[in-house]
Structure 1
């Protein structure tokens, strides 16, 4: 494969392209081609809306009601646990520190019309995007989030994110706006150790 990552100033900073023979395709399509050709798993962060769709789909299948506030906390937990286990973020969206806890802004705006009610539709980004094959760690992390959704309501989850010393409290109290990857990784590694 020639010029696998041919970064160019003519593309936006979020676009990466590679060339195969005479065609230019997106970075993500290149990763899929490489994965298929070399039979390797190439894990990369997903959009928060896509993982939200996966959580909502599984929740709807299992009869678990999930509001926007609850979904935000489940995404945060899934992202943090995946980070603690793999050293990589599950989500490529920033985790913002809002007054009621961690929020993924794009997901919030996609479902804000539901208010405190349970979400009954899947995001278009999830339904229109080709199915992504999630690895075992991604699947088990999402399943864990669904198990939490069965046991705790949105307010309980919000209270949990507000515990002193949590990544949210650190970011919110210091007015950082965005919760850092490092603080999430430290916190969720401690969480996993306590769970053992």
Structure 2
């Protein structure tokens, strides 16, 4: 099953709050990237369907970034309720509702892998994770364009899967 990145992000934020492990938007972005890479390598399928952009500080899921950007570089202190806007074929709004996060909507085994990955990455500082993503050719080959604010295509699931499959040394969630 593929989830919305916001559901996975909310789960990570909720657990971070419960465990009293402060998490910033930047750190959340890197965790989501490595979790997605893990699922692509181990299952062949993405965990979430949202695109991952190649940004200045590494991989970013724009939908999640914009939801939590109000925290700046500070600690995210609550999960985000999502506003759902339903439109008809003409683009007119026909319904607006709030989607409340429920961790039980995420499979128990998936939650276990998420927590395992987050725990294994906890030994790395946020900027260590940024640096590690900057060392990867997936980002490095576009560095000049990214730094100069030129448009760069987002990561594809296939390129992430291929890169992490071909380079087991970058699967830092496996490092004990």
TM-score computed with the length of structure 2 as normaliser: 0.75
Question: In the superposition, relative to structure 1, how do residues 60 and 46 fare at CA in structure 2: closer, same or farther (>3 Å)?
Answer: same
Partner SS state of residue 160, structure 2? helix
Compared CA separation, residues 141 and 188, structure 1 to 2 (3 A): farther
Change (3 A) 1:65 1:141: same
Number of positions where the alignment pairs a residue of Structure 1 with one of Structure 2: 151
Q: Match of 2:20?
A: 63
Could you tell me which residue of structure 1 aligns to residue 107 of structure 2? 134
Normalising by the residue count of structure 1, what TM-score does the alignment of the two structures yield? 0.68
* Contiguous gaps of at least 5 residues in structure 1: 1-42
**Matched residues in 1 for 2:65 and 2:114: separation?**
18
How far does residue 169 in structure 1 lie from its aligned partner after superposition?
A: 2.7
The unaligned stretches of length 5 or more in structure 2 are: 83-97, 146-150
Where in structure 2 are the equivalents of 1:56-135 lying within 5 Å?
56-125=13-82, 128-130=100-102, 131-135=104-108
Measured after TM superposition, the shift of residue 177 of structure 1 is 2.4
Deviation at 1:192, TM superposition (A): 7.0
Tell me the equivalent position of 2:168. 191
Instruction: Give the whole-Å Cα distance in 2 for the aligned partners of 1:155 and 1:127.
Output: 32
Q: What is the aligned partner in structure 1 of residue 118 from structure 2?
A: 146
